[in-house]
Structure 1
Amino acid sequence: MSLDIEFARKQFPALIHDDYAGKGFFENAGGSYMPKQVIDRLARYHSQRRVQPYWPFRSSTLAGNEMDESRIRMAALLNIPADTLHFGPSTSQNTFVLSTAFRDFETKRKVIIVTNQDHEANTGVWRRLGQYGYEIKEWKVQKDTGQLVLKDLEKLLNENVCLLTFPHCSNIIGEINPVKKICSLAKKFGVITCVDGVSFVPHSFPDISSLGADIYLFSSYKTYGPHLGIMYVDADLNSCLPSQGHFFNSGDPIKTLTPAGPDHAQIASVSGIVDYVEIIDRHHFQEGVNDSLAHAAQRVGKLQRNMEMVLLAPLMEFLNSRKDIRVLGDPDIELILKVPTISIDVGTRGEEIVNKLSRKGLMAGSGDFYSVRLLESLGIDLPAGVLRLSCVHYNKLDEIDSMVRALDEIL
C-alpha cells in the first residue's frame, strides 16, 4: 500500500497557505510543518486552559489531563513506559542536563565514546566531561563516506567504558545506523547507550523498546509537533543518576531530569502528533483501528519510508549523474538505508544557490547544520558548509522535479 499523499497534505495548513502554494519545502531536517491536530490542541490550551495545571478547578484539571495524555500516548506510540518519557525545551537542553547527571554519576567506568558524525548537541556536552575525570574516545567516521563502521567501534569497547553516544542517522549524510546491533554490542560490555534520534524520527517513529537503547532523544518540532525535546531514559538508569530537579522531587522519575518545567501548552499539544499518526493509520488500514499505537506507528512509518524512497530515487539519480558536484555519503547506498536528507559539496556557493532556489520557490538551506566535526572530517570548506536538501513524506514528486530542473540550471 502506498501513502495517500493528498490526504496527508490536507492535514498540514501550511501546505495550503498562500506563502507555500506552488513552492517546495526542502528544509524539513531543520523543522517540519505541524498538522492541524497539533495546532488545534495548542490553540485550545492557550485559549481555554491557560492556567497552572493540576488544581481541582475545571480548566486547571483539564490542563493537567491534557499534559498527562500527551505523555501517555506518546510513550505508547514509542512502546515505552510513560514514566520513562521526559519533556525538555530542546534536545540540546536534554543532553546538557544528562551530561550534568553523568558528571556526578558514581561509577568506576571512566570512558565515554563519542562520534564525529553527531550533531554537536550529542557530542559537545559529553566531550566536556573530559574535564571531570572521564576519558573521551572518538568513534571516527570513514573520511571518504562519513560512515560509522562497527569494526572500529569494537576496538574501543571494553569494561572501562561507561557510555556510548551516537546518532540514529546523520543530519548530513542521512545514512541510518544499525542502532539495534550497536546497542547489542555495547551491552556485551555493560555499556550505557545514548542515541540521538533527531534526524531519524521524522521519517518513522521507532519502537524504542526493541532498539535496546538506554537513552533515546528526538525533537518534536522536527516530527510535526511543537518546539520541545523528547527523551526516553531507562527506568533503572534514571534511578541511578543524580537528580537534576528540585530536591523534593527526587522521588518522581518524570521530574529528576527536568530542572525546569517546559511550556505546558506545548506538552499538551504533543498528543496532536499521535492524533495525526492515528488518522493516517485509520485512513489506510481500517482493520487496525483498535490496534496498539506502537503498531500504528510502525504501519505509518512504512508508508512514510516508502513514500520517501519514491521521492529520493530521482533526486539521487540526478545528483549522482553530475560529475561537477560531490554528494556526501556512500554513493552506492541502498535507499532503504538512507533518509531523504542530502548534503552537497558546492564549495563556497551554498548561500548563492539557496538564494537562487528561493527565487524559484524552492526552500532549502546551507551551512554546517551543527555538524562541524563531521564536515571537517569530510574536508568541507567551513563556514560555507554544504547545500542541504531534506524531504519528508508530505513532499511531492513534482517538487522533486522542480528541484532537479532548478539545480540543473544553477549548478
Structure 2
Amino acid sequence: MNFERDHFSGGLLALQERQYPQAVEEFEHALNDEPGPARFYAALALLGGRNPGEKNPDDIERIEEYLDQVHLYTNVTAQYQANVLRAIVHEDYYDRYNMHAGQLDPEMLRASIEGLSAPELEPLVKHIGPAPHSRTWTAVQQVAVHFGLLTRRPERTRGTTRFPDPARPAAVARYFVPTPPRRDSSRFAMAFAGAAALVLLGIMVQSFGTLVLVAGALLLAKWGYDDLQHYKTYLRRYAQAEPKPTEAQMDHWLAEDIREITRVAGEKVMLNTELKIHGGDLVYPPQVVAGYDVDESVVRLGDDNTWHTDTHDLMVMFLTDTLISIYRCDLDFRTGCTTLEQIDEYHYRDIVAVSESAVTAPGRLIAQMFTLSISDGSKVSVAIRIDSTEDSGARTAWAGNEEALRIVKKMVRARHTV
C-alpha cells in the first residue's frame, strides 16, 4: 500500500471539508509522492480560507517557500496554480502593505490562469478569501464565472455598513416619537357651525340682539380657529409618529444589521472565523453584545416589553484559544450605518477582572454595565441592559447579550486556571 498517496488523498479530503490545519499536515506528509501538487496544496491550505493580506509574516514565508519549490518539479499544472497563487500573495500582501517583494511580475504570473481548466482553477476559487486588493484574484473570479464555478462575481462591502431599504430611516425615527393623544376634529367644526348659526339668527332678529349674537359668533369662531390650529399641530405630530414599524420588524432589522456587521468584523480581525472543529481559529462562534449609549441613545419600551434604542454600542467578540479579539462600533439604527470602529485584542491572562455594575442613565433609568478590566489599567465597558423601577422584567432588544457575556466569563475563567 502506498501510504504517501493516502496522505495526499487525505489532504484533498481535508481541504474539501475546509479542515485546513489537517490538510496542511496531510500534504506535508505527501511531499515525496506528489512533490509538485503537494507543495501547492500545502501553500493553499496554509491560507486557511483567508486572503494573504490577513495572514501573519510567518505563514506568508512558509507559503512562499512551498510555492518556490513547486517549480523544482515537472508538474505543469501545479506550476500554473502556484504562479496564480503567488501573484495573489504578491498583490494582496506585499503591494497592499507597500512592502518590497523582489522582482516578481504579478502580471506575468497572472497569465498562468489561461493554462488552467475549470477543475484546476476550482481550488483557488474555493479556498482563497476575498482579496479585492489583488487584480489576479479579481481575474480568477471572472474566469470562474465563465467556467460556471461561480454564478456571479461576488461583491464585498467594506467599511460603513449600509442597507438598501429606503423606508427604514423614517420608519425607525417614527418608532421613537411618542404618538400624541387622539384629538377629535368635531370641536372646531361644531364651533364654526355654531358661529354661522348665530350670524344667521342675528340677521333674522334685526334688533339690538343682533350685535350680541354677532359678537358671540365672533368669539365662537375665534375659539374654533384656535382649536383648528391645535388640530393641525396634532396632525403634524401624528404624521411624525405614525405609522410605527412593529417590534417584529425592528427585531428583524437589528438581526440583519448584526449579521452583516459580524461578517465585516470577521474580515477585519484577521482571523479564520470558522470553529476549530471546522479548521478555523474560534473556540465559540462570534459573540455579539448590542449595548446602549447611556448618554446619547433614545430608548423606548415597546409593546413587547422590550427596550429598543436608536443607537447601539455594538461589540463583536471573537474567542480563540489564547486571545479575545473585539470589534466595536456605534450602530445608527435608523440607517444601519456604523461609525467609530475600533479593534482590540487581549490575551485572557491580561484580563484581570470581569464585572457588572449599575449606573444612572437619563430618564429615570438604570444602565447595567459589563466591564472587562485590563492589566494595563484600561477598561472595555458596554451598557448591556436598561432597568427601570417602574417597568420590571423588561428585556433588551438583542437577546444574545446574556449568552455572549456568559461565554466570555467562562473563557476568561478557564484560561486563568490553565
| TM-score band w.r.t. shorter chain | under 0.3
If the length of structure 1 is used for normalisation, what is the TM-score?
Answer: 0.24
The structure with more strand, counted as a fraction of residues: 2
Bigger relative contact order (CA 8 A; separation at least 6)? 1
The structure with more helix, counted as a fraction of residues: 2
Larger radius of gyration, structure 1 or 2?
2
If the length of structure 2 is used for normalisation, what is the TM-score?
Answer: 0.23
